[in-house]
């Protein structure tokens, strides 16, 4: 079908109308000479970090102790440079926003701050690997369908989500803006598992199946906890101040103690809700108050009714 040139002549006018909205609505555009963190670069960083955490399982094959030091050293060097730049951008944007500054106004040395945080983050990778080893083992110990640790590392979305969470949580602990949420939402889009980087999760954590799991920002999870698909560890309500604004930085999500199992589609809500150690929350249960240790919480069996179809 032939293109109507007269219709195409309307495109410049349409462009002007779109740009006019950039002046009218400035809350959803970022225009200027201070670049934000790049989503593409941040995702590449997260992917390379997983290469370091699980060497030999991902991009580079034929790794051995004769060449792994060179390979990891090359990655660490590249990650240092990219993390420094992206963290500096995030810090600069956060500082400008909080202090209502223009890009050219006098500001701290964000490149130096970015490098400092990048080095501190990279220094945490050995400890993160040690915790992830317990998560992999917990998945194997908790799933009779698992054929081995290799299968878990290759195939389990729960481990992928927890891996990215542990990276994001370290960046969150270092008070890096934006980037922890960027990589968390990347993992969320890949796995269907939504873990806020502010949550605190102990070792030997296992998410089985995983799709639809939500773990809120102020949730505290101890060691050897297992949860299934569709579980929500969320907020019961959102407190507001006298002017009706949400009160932030308060505990809104539950605390889960050691050796708790939360089965599929269960919901545990509230910052004051504590699930005691060795407890079990049954499938589909909704829990809004604390549960003592060594307790099993289940729904009463619903009544099944059948009738003849008309």
Hey, where are the domains in the chain? 32-192, 199-299
Other CB atoms within 10 Å distance of the CB of residue 283: 15
Residues 6+ apart with CB under 8 A from 159: 132, 135, 136, 139, 152, 153
% pLDDT > 90, the chain: 79
Taking the C-alpha atoms of residue 162 and residue 221, their distance in angstroms, rounded to an integer, is: 13
Q: Per-residue pLDDT for 171 more than 80?
A: yes
Q: How confident is the model at residue 53 (pLDDT cuts 50, 70, 90)?
A: very high
Does residue 106 surpass a pLDDT of 70? Answer: no
Tell me the percentage of the chain whose pLDDT exceeds 70: 97
Question: How many other CB atoms are there within 10 angstroms of residue 294's CB atom?
Answer: 11
pLDDT at position 242 is: 66
Q: Is the pLDDT of residue 4 over 80?
A: no
pLDDT bracket for residue 2 (50, 70, 90) = low
Q: Considering only CA atoms, which of 59, 60, 43, 39 is closest in space to residue 164?
A: 43
The CATH number given to 199-299 is: 2.160.10.10
**φ and ψ at residue 140, rounded to 5 degrees:** -65, -45
At 228 the pLDDT is 98
Measured in Å, how far apart are the chain's first and last C-alpha atoms?
A: 53
Confidence band, pLDDT 50/70/90 cuts, at residue 305: confident
- In terms of Cβ atoms closer than 10 Å to its own Cβ (0-12, 13-18, 19+), residue 77 is exposed
Kindly indicate the confidence band of residue 309, based on its pLDDT and cuts at 50, 70 and 90: confident
Higher pLDDT: 302 or 180? It is: 180
Please tell me the pTM assigned to this model: 0.91
In this prediction, residues 261-276 reach a mean pLDDT of 97
Spatial distance between the Cα atoms of 39 and 25, rounded to a whole number of angstroms: 23
CA distances from 56 to 50, 128, 129, 290 (A): 11, 17, 14, 44
Q: Do domains 32-192 and 199-299 have the same CATH topology?
A: no
When pLDDT is averaged across residues 31-40 and rounded to a whole number, the result is 91
Mean pLDDT of the chain: 93
Going by their DSSP bridges, the two strands 274-275 and 206-207 should be labelled as: unpaired
Helices and strands counted in the chain (H then E)? 9, 14
What's the confidence (pLDDT) of residue 31?
87
Domain 32-192 part of CATH 1.10.3130.10:
yes
pLDDT score at 60: 80
Query: Would you say residue 247 has pLDDT above 90?
Result: no
| Cα–Cα distance measured from residue 57 to residue 70, given in angstroms and rounded to the nearest whole number | 17
Question: Is the distance from CB of 46 to CB of 30 less than 8 angstroms?
Answer: no
């Amino acid at each position: 079908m032939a293109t109507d040139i007269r219709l195409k002549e309307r495109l410049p006018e349409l462009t002007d109308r779109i740009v006019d909205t950039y002046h009218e609505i400035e809350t959803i555009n970022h225009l200027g000479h201070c670049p934000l963190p790049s989503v593409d670069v941040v995702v590449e960083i997260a992917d390379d970090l997983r290469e370091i955490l699980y060497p030999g399982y991902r991009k580079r094959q034929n790794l051995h102790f004769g060449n792994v030091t060179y390979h990891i050293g090359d990655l660490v060097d590249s990650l240092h440079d990219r993390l420094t730049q992206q963290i500096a951008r995030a810090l600069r944007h956060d500082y400008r926003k909080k202090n209502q500054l223009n890009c050219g106004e006098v500001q701290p040395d964000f490149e130096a701050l970015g490098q400092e945080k990048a080095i501190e983050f990279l220094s945490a990778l050995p400890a993160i690997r040690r915790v992830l080893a317990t998560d992999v083992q917990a998945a194997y110990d908790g799933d009779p369908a698992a054929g081995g640790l290799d299968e878990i590392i290759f195939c389990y979305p729960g481990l992928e989500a927890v891996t990215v969470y542990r990276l994001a949580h370290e960046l969150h602990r270092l008070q890096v803006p934006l980037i922890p949420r960027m990589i968390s939402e990347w993992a969320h889009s890949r796995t269907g598992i939504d873990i806020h980087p502010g949550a605190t999760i102990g070792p030997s954590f296992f998410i089985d199946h995983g799709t639809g799991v939500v773990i809120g920002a102020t949730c505290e999870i101890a060691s050897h906890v297992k949860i299934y698909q569709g579980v929500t560890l969320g907020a019961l309500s959102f407190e507001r101040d006298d002017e009706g604004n949400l009160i932030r930085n308060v505990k809104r999500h539950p605390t889960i103690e050691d050796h708790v199992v939360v089965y599929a589609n269960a919901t545990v809500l509230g910052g004051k809700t504590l699930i005691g150690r060795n407890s079990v929350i049954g499938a589909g249960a909704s829990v809004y108050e604390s549960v003592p240790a060594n307790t099993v919480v289940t729904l009463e069996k619903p009544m099944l009714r059948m009738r003849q179809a008309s």
